[in-house]
Amino acid sequence: MKTVYFDNAATTQIRSEVINKMTEVMRNDYGNASSSHSFGRSSKSLIENSRKAIASYLNVSAGEIVFTSGGTEADNLVLQSVVRDLKVKHIITSKIEHHAILHTIEQLEKEYDLAISYVNVDKTGTIDYAHLEELLDISKKTLVSLMHINNEIGNILDIKRVAGLCKDKDALFHSDTVQSVGHYALDLQEVQLDFLAVAAHKFHGPKGVGFAFIRKNSGLKPLIFGGEQERGLRAGTESVHNIVGIEEALKHAYDNLDKESAYVRSLKQYFIEQLKLKIPLIKFNGNSGDMDKGTYTLVNVCLPVSPEKASMLLFQLDLKGIACSKGSACQSGSSKGSHVLAEILSDEDLSKPSIRFSFSIYNTKDEVDYVINVLNELITSSLN
């Protein structure tokens, strides 16, 4: 059976170069980086060299990179610490953020005297920047947390504009950049945000490792206590091979960014063209069908299938060897629908199946053709 992996927004295939580098480290550099002997010093050197390399890609200092287990931990580190330690009293976010943001904020609201504001979004999921500016006028110490690229509908935040608004209003700015770092260049001297979260497995690196960017002199304190690893901000023996893996993945992502992004962009463009040709009643959710306002890595579509036939569609695609998603991977085990789509779609469209297809350098036009044909067959049969 033919298999097609179009769920790269959930996780990506690890590059062979990254696997080789990580294997080499696991085989040869097994010392504890906190040990003072030569084995430990070798591991410590690898970690610090990776930290410096990652910092250079973002144009920040090495001391502003804190390695974590992934994007969720990085988001939690920032959100919990700014409330607990920096005495933030007001958080501005949106209702279409990742649950790593929304659920953390919900818990913080229960524990602290905290005001939560949700910035308006329109029917495409685009942030209302005028409303954001109004919310920033509240005279409390404020953190804005808005993701750079939405993981479900692919909308791109004007992150530089938001950073400017926050700076003008003396507010802190945190962004979940899990879907953007490794796919877009980001200069943090030009974009003056205070915190961001990154996960390696979104750009062909290993699962279980990421990092937080924490602007120097922020005053953040750790969530995990123990040793003095990560400059005291994240205790625990470092996963050396994973840290080297994220640096190697980011290196290849940015060294090949122009060529690889152009290739993936062409796949998405072709996918959109074929969908419109073969399934003219299809709708694109958010800005995912817009090559300028949406990321080049994914498409989220509402299919013309009756509610009665909708529940089996993902299962039928899986039987045909096609991997895709009805929303974020974090929701796949839940019976609830997408909270993102619930904010932007009509009740009628919410009753129809919406599916996210996401692409990488390892996909091909032949795979696009196969998926389009299968979709067309399934939709045609569901209408009969």
Same-domain pairing of 341 and 243: no
Same-domain pairing of 93 and 147: yes
pLDDT score for 307: 77
At residue 113, φ and ψ (nearest 5 deg) are -80, 90
Same-domain pairing of 278 and 235: no
Is the distance from CB of 265 to CB of 292 less than 8 angstroms? no
State the average pLDDT over residues 137-156.
95
- Number of CB atoms found within 10 A of residue 335's CB: 5
In the chain, the number of structural domains is: 2
State the average pLDDT over residues 14-37.
97
Final residue in a domain of this structure, among 221, 255, 289 = 255
Same-domain pairing of 349 and 268: yes
% of residues, the chain, pLDDT over 90: 87
Task: Kindly tell me if the per-residue pLDDT of 330 is higher than 70.
Answer: no
Same-domain pairing of 76 and 215: yes
State the average pLDDT over residues 236-261.
97
For residues 41 and 91, what is the distance between their CA atoms, to the nearest angstrom? 41
Task: Kindly tell me if the per-residue pLDDT of 376 is higher than 80.
Answer: yes
pLDDT score for 383: 65
Task: Kindly tell me if the per-residue pLDDT of 143 is higher than 90.
Answer: yes
Same-domain pairing of 215 and 288: no
Same-domain pairing of 231 and 84: yes
pLDDT score for 144: 98
Give residue 25's domain range: 16-255
State the average pLDDT over residues 224-249.
94
Concerning whether 330 is annotated as a catalytic residue, the answer is yes
State the average pLDDT over residues 251-258.
98
Q: Which of 304, 321, 339, 282 is nearest to 99 (CA)?
A: 339
Is the distance from CB of 75 to CB of 100 less than 8 angstroms? yes
CA-to-CA dists, residue 26 to 21, 31, 283, 288, angstroms? 9, 10, 47, 40
Same-domain pairing of 167 and 313: no
Among 148-157, 222-231, 267-276, the least confident range: 222-231
pLDDT score for 306: 82
Q: Give pLDDT tens digits for 49-92.
A: 999 999 999 999 999 999 999 999 999 999 999 999 999 999 99
Final residue in a domain of this structure, among 196, 224, 255 = 255
Same-domain pairing of 173 and 221: yes
Task: Kindly tell me if the per-residue pLDDT of 5 is higher than 80.
Answer: yes
pLDDT score for 20: 98
Is the distance from CB of 53 to CB of 279 less than 8 angstroms? no
For residues 370 and 376, what is the distance between their CA atoms, to the nearest angstrom? 10
For residues 206 and 204, what is the distance between their CA atoms, to the nearest angstrom? 7
% of residues, the chain, pLDDT over 70: 97
Final residue in a domain of this structure, among 236, 255, 274 = 255
Same-domain pairing of 34 and 155: yes
153: left (phi over 0), alpha (psi -120 to 50) or beta: alpha
Same-domain pairing of 72 and 218: yes
Q: Give pLDDT tens digits for 352-362.
A: 999 999 999 99
Same-domain pairing of 121 and 234: yes
Q: In 3-state terms, what secondary structure has residue 307?
A: helix
CATH number at residue 372: 3.90.1150.10
Task: Kindly tell me if the per-residue pLDDT of 308 is higher than 90.
Answer: no
Active-site annotation holder among 166, 302, 324, 330: 330
pLDDT score for 262: 98
CATH number at residue 174: 3.40.640.10
